[in-house]
Amino acid sequence: MALVLGFVVGNITGSKAPAEPGAAVSAEAAGGTAPGGAMADATRIPVGNSPVIGRNDALATLVIFSDFQCPFCSRVETTISQLRQQYGNDLRVVWKNNPLPFHDKAMPASEAAMEAHAQRGNEGFWRMHALLFQNQQSLDRADLERYAQQIGLDMTRFRAALDNHTHQAAIRRDMDLATAIGAQGTPNMYINGTNIVGAQPVERFRTLIDAVLTRARTITPRNQVYARMVAEPVAAPDAPQPQQPQQRPAEPDPAQVLRVPVGNSPVLGRPDALVTVVVFSDFQCPFCSRVETTLNALRTRYGNDIRFVWKNEPLPFHDKARPAAEASAEVFAQRGNEGFWRYHDLLFQNQQTIDRPDLERFAGQIPGINMARFRAALDNHTHQAAVEADHQLAQQVQANGTPHFFVNGRRIVGAQPEDAFVRLVDEVKRTAEEWIRSHPGTTRGNFYERYMAEADATVRMAGGGGNAPAAAPEQPDENRVYTVRANPRAPTLGPNNARVIIEHFSDFQCPFCSRVIPTMDQLVQRYGNRIQFRWRDYPLPFHNNAMPASEAGREVLAQRGSQAFWRYHHMLFENQQNLDRATLERLATELGGIDMTRFRAALDNHTHQAAIRDDMAAADATGAQIGTPAFFINGKFVAGALPVDQFVTRIDAALAAH
C-alpha cells in the first residue's frame, strides 16, 4: 500500500518516496489556494466543502464516489496515486462518500473520516483515509478510535461525533448527489464531468485525463475550466462517437399532464382556484429565489384563479437547504399556511444567511411560534420524513433540478420569464374551464382532485433533434422478470401456494415503507389467498435504527413465527420515530410470549445480522435499482409506495399470466 500513502501525503510535484502516516501534507497538496485564484465550482458535480488533495487551480479535477469497505475502491487508490505523481499540479482529487448498504462498516468509517476532516481539515482527512484503506479488514469502532488517536484527533470530540452521527447528513448529501447524477456503485469517478466507473487500468484514466487537459488548456479564464467542462464534458475513452446530426435524447414530455398531488403541503391561494402551481424548490437555490418575483406577478395577474403549492426539494450540494426546509415545515406545523409563507419570504429575502441561528431568528419573527418546540423539531429532525416525501415525489415525476413547476400537471422548468408562465397558465386555465363544463358534478372546488385522478402517473418521454443535454435515465422495463434469490425463512403473509408471490424489501425506519402498509392491507383484503407477501429486510445505511429494528423483528420471528412477526412489524412502524433499543424491548414485551433474555442476547450478539445482510445481497444481486420500499411481483420489479391501483394493475396482470 505504499502508493496509497504516496497519494495521501506525497508532495504534489511528484515525489516518488511515500511519506509516513504522520507526515504533514503541503498546503497546495491539501487543496490550498494556488496562484491565480481557485477554480470556480460546478453546479452538476460540485466540489463544495468535500475533502480535496491537489491545487485548487488544477486543470483536471477527479471527483471520486467511494466506500472505505469496498475492495475495488481500495484497488483504485494505487491508480490514483500513480496519476497524481504523473500529472502533478494539473490534477486534484475530491472525495465524496458513497457507503454501500451491504457494507456494514462503511458508514461508520465515512463518519470517522469526516470527523478527521472537521478537526484537521484536508490533512487530517487524507491521513485517516490512508489508514482506513490500509486496514480495510479492521474497521470496527475500536479500530476507528485507534486510527483517530494515531493522527492526533481530539478523542472526546471524535467519539461524540460517531455516537451522535454528526456527519451522517453530509454523507447522505454525497449519496444523494451520486444518485442524482447516476453514479451507481463504487468506485465511480468523474474527471471534469466525464464519467469513468470501476478500478479501470491506469492507461484508460491517462487517455481521459490527456483529453481533458487538451480541452482545458483552450479555456479562458483558467478558473472557469471546471465549471465549463462539467457542463460540457469531453467524451469518455472508448465511448462511441455520436452520429451527425446529433439526435436529442428523450426528455420528459412538456405536454403531458402528470399526477402531482397537493397532499398536506403549504398552499397559497383559494382551494377553488382553476390553476394549481406545484413548486419544487430549494431555499438555498439562487434560481429559486430569482423566480419568486415572477410567481408574485402571477398572483397579482390571476388573483383567485391561481394557487401555489410548496414542495421541498433541497439539493444535495446545498448544505443549508435541508435544515431550512425542516425549519419551514415546523413553522407550517405550528402556524399553518400563513406562518409558512411569511417564513418562506424571510428565508428567500435572507438567502445568504440561513445558518441555524438565522433560522431561529427568523422563526422568532413569526407571531405565535413556540421557540422551544421549534428548536426541538430541528434537533430531532421531526420533519425529515415530510421533506423526504416531497423528494420522493420529485423523483417520481422527474423534477430534476430546481425550481421545477407543474401547472395543473403540466411541466415548466427553471426561472423562466413571466411570459412563459403566462402562456402556460392561460392554456391550462382554458382547459380547466372546458373540463368543468364537460364533466358533470365537477366544480371549481373539486376540479383539481378529479383532474389529477385522470392524469398520468408515470412520466412520458419525448424525443427531439439537434444538440441536447444528457439523456434522462432509462426507465425500468416493467415486463422484465428478475431472479430474486429465495429466503425460505422469510416471514410470510398469505399461503405458500398463492398464485402471486410478492417479495417485499423494506426498512422499518423508512417513511415511505410505513406509507405502504395500508396498501398492503387493502391488497390482502382484495386478493385473499391468491397472493403472498414475503418480508425481506433492507435497512438503509443512513437509518441508524433500521438494522437493530430488523434484528429485533427477526428474533420475534425466530421465537414466535410469522404471525407474531407481522404484529411486531406493525408495532415498529407505529413507533417509527422512536426505534431505540429501549423501544424495541418494550414493544417485544407488549407483544407477549417473548423470552426477553433470549431477545436481548440476540440483539447484543447480532444473531440475525448475517441473515439480514443476505436479504440485502439478494436484492442487490437482482440488478434492479433498489431503494425502499421495493417489490418483486412474480419477479417483476415495482419501486416505491405507489397508489393501490398501480399494485392492482400489476397483480391482476400476474394472475392473468399465471
pLDDT for 658? 73
Kindly report the backbone phi and psi dihedral angles of residue 622, in degrees, each rounded to the nearest multiple of 5, phi listed first. -70, -25
pLDDT higher for 240 or 352? 352
Residue range 504-526: average pLDDT? Answer: 86
The whole domain housing 318 covers: 267-453
Q: Are residues 190 and 276 in the same domain?
A: no
At 425-455, the pLDDT tens digits run 999 999 999 999 999 999 999 999 999 999 9
Centroid of chain to Cα 262 = 22
> Could you tell me which residues come within 8 angstroms of residue 379 by beta carbon, excluding any fewer than 6 positions away?
none
pLDDT of 329 above 80: yes
Does residue 257 belong to any structural domain of this protein?
Answer: no
Nearest to 413 by CA among 233, 293, 288: 288
Does residue 648 belong to any structural domain of this protein?
Answer: yes
Kindly report the backbone phi and psi dihedral angles of residue 137, in degrees, each rounded to the nearest multiple of 5, phi listed first. -85, -5
Residue range 609-618: average pLDDT? Answer: 89
pLDDT of 36 above 50: no
Residue range 291-301: average pLDDT? Answer: 94
**Exposure class string for 490-511: b at 16+ Cβ within 10 A, else e:** bbbbbeeebbbbbbbbbbbbbb
510: left (phi over 0), alpha (psi -120 to 50) or beta: beta
In the chain, count H helices and then E strands: 22, 17
Residue range 460-480: average pLDDT? Answer: 52
Q: Are residues 541 and 592 in the same domain?
A: yes
Q: Are residues 131 and 182 in the same domain?
A: yes
Contact 428, 408 (CB under 8 A): yes
> Could you tell me which residues come within 8 angstroms of residue 337 by beta carbon, excluding any fewer than 6 positions away?
266, 267, 268
Does residue 482 belong to any structural domain of this protein?
Answer: no
DSSP states of 37-68: -PPPP-SSS--TT--EES-TT-SEEEEEEE-T
Nearest to 119 by CA among 19, 53, 51, 33: 51
Q: Are residues 371 and 276 in the same domain?
A: yes
At 82-121, the pLDDT tens digits run 899 899 999 999 999 998 766 778 999 999 999 999 999 9
453, 484, 518 — which closes off a domain?
453
Does residue 390 belong to any structural domain of this protein?
Answer: yes
> Could you tell me which residues come within 8 angstroms of residue 395 by beta carbon, excluding any fewer than 6 positions away?
none
Amino acid type, 25: V
Q: Are residues 384 and 496 in the same domain?
A: no
pLDDT for 545? 87
Rounded to an integer, what distance in angstroms lies between the CA atom of residue 249 and that of residue 212? Answer: 24
pLDDT band at 226 (very low <50, low <70, confident <90, very high): very high
231, 250, 281 — which closes off a domain?
231
pLDDT of 241 above 50: no
Does residue 253 belong to any structural domain of this protein?
Answer: no
Domain count across the chain: 3
Amino acid type, 498: A
Q: Which three cell numbers stand for residue 348?
A: 428567500
Q: Are residues 497 and 551 in the same domain?
A: yes
Residue range 243-247: average pLDDT? Answer: 41
**518 CB burial (10 A radius; 0-12, 13-18, 19+):** exposed
Q: Are residues 432 and 297 in the same domain?
A: yes
pLDDT higher for 227 or 14? 227
Q: Are residues 420 and 507 in the same domain?
A: no
Rounded to an integer, what distance in angstroms lies between the CA atom of residue 544 and that of residue 547? Answer: 7
pLDDT higher for 2 or 543? 543
Does residue 475 belong to any structural domain of this protein?
Answer: no
231, 254, 277 — which closes off a domain?
231
Which residues are paired to 472 by β-bridges?
Answer: none
pLDDT of 592 above 70: yes
Does residue 566 belong to any structural domain of this protein?
Answer: yes
Rounded to an integer, what distance in angstroms lies between the CA atom of residue 486 and that of residue 614? Answer: 10
Contact 412, 255 (CB under 8 A): no
Query: What separation, in Å, do the N-terminal and C-terminal C-alpha atoms of the chain show?
Result: 55
Q: Are residues 444 and 504 in the same domain?
A: no
pLDDT for 622? 82
Q: Quick one: the chain helix, strand, coil %, rounded to 5?
A: 50, 10, 40
Most confidently predicted of 236-240, 540-544, 575-579, 650-654: 650-654
pLDDT for 243? 40
Q: Are residues 297 and 213 in the same domain?
A: no
Q: Are residues 530 and 401 in the same domain?
A: no
Does residue 281 belong to any structural domain of this protein?
Answer: yes
pLDDT for 246? 41
pLDDT band at 26 (very low <50, low <70, confident <90, very high): very low
pLDDT higher for 60 or 464? 60
pLDDT for 104? 79
At 556-584, the pLDDT tens digits run 999 999 999 999 999 998 888 889 999 99
Q: What angle do CA 480, 640, 382 make, to 5 degrees?
A: 160
pLDDT band at 70 (very low <50, low <70, confident <90, very high): confident
State the CATH number of the domain containing residue 338.
3.40.30.10
At 358-396, the pLDDT tens digits run 999 999 999 999 999 999 999 999 999 899 889 889 888
pLDDT for 334? 97
Mean pLDDT of the chain, nearest integer: 86
At 123-178, the pLDDT tens digits run 999 999 999 998 888 899 999 999 999 999 999 999 999 999 999 999 999 988 88
pLDDT for 74? 84
pLDDT band at 520 (very low <50, low <70, confident <90, very high): confident
Q: Are residues 204 and 306 in the same domain?
A: no
> Could you tell me which residues come within 8 angstroms of residue 425 by beta carbon, excluding any fewer than 6 positions away?
275, 277, 298, 302, 306, 407
pLDDT for 350? 93
The H or E element that residue 606 is part of is none
At 189-213, the pLDDT tens digits run 999 999 998 778 888 899 999 999 9
pLDDT of 473 above 90: no
The whole-model pTM stands at: 0.42
Rounded to an integer, what distance in angstroms lies between the CA atom of residue 452 and that of residue 428? Answer: 13
pLDDT band at 474 (very low <50, low <70, confident <90, very high): very low
Amino acid type, 301: R
